[in-house]
Amino acid sequence: MALLHLLLAQATSDPTKGLTAIGRGIVYGGAAIGPGIGIGLVVGNAITAMARQPESAGTVRTTMFLGIAFTEALALFGFVLAFIISG
């Protein structure tokens, strides 16, 4: 019961603060969708390539890290943007 009162006091003290937090969550969550799918595609296809041609695993691994780095950049932009948002 005391916890509930505490939560209520926190919730009613500054309503815009909560909205900012929700906005940050939406920004980062939205920015993570595409890169999540993209990194899955990159790594999945790299594993297929390595399984089919184990002798080319070194080249494939280097290219895979490059692909991950390019794909991941978008998620990181969202991460930084979530910090930039202020309420």
Partner 1 sequence: MNSLLLSVDVPPISHVTIWGSGPLGINRTVAVYIFATLATTLLFWLGTRKKDALVPSGFFQNTAESGVGFVRSQVIMATMGPDGLGYLPYLSALFFFIFFSNITEIIPGVQFPANARLGMPLVLSLFTWAIYMVVGIVKQGPGHFLKNSTVPSGVPWWVLPLVVPIELLQVLIVRPFSLMVRLFANMLAGHLILVTFASLTAALWALSFTVVIAPFSFALLVAMTGFEVLVSFLQAFIFTILTAVYIDSSMHPAH
Of 12-20, 38-46, 47-55, 56-64, the segment contacting partner 1 by CB under 8 A is 56-64
DSSP H helices, 1-87, are 2-13, 15-52, 57-84
Name every residue whose Cβ is closer than 8 Å to that of residue 36 and which is 6 or more positions away in sequence.
Answer: 75
Of 12-20, 31-39, 41-49, 64-72, the segment contacting partner 1 by CB under 8 A is 64-72
For residues 83 and 85, give the distance between their C-alpha atoms in angstroms, rounded to a whole number: 5
Min dist. Cβ of residue 34 to partner 1 (A): 15
Q: How many Å separate Cα 15 from the centre of its chain? A: 26
Q: Which of 39, 50, 57, 72 binds partner 1 (CB under 8 A)?
A: 72
Residues near partner 1, by CB under 8 A = 3, 6-7, 10, 58-59, 62, 65-66, 69, 72-73, 76-77, 79-80
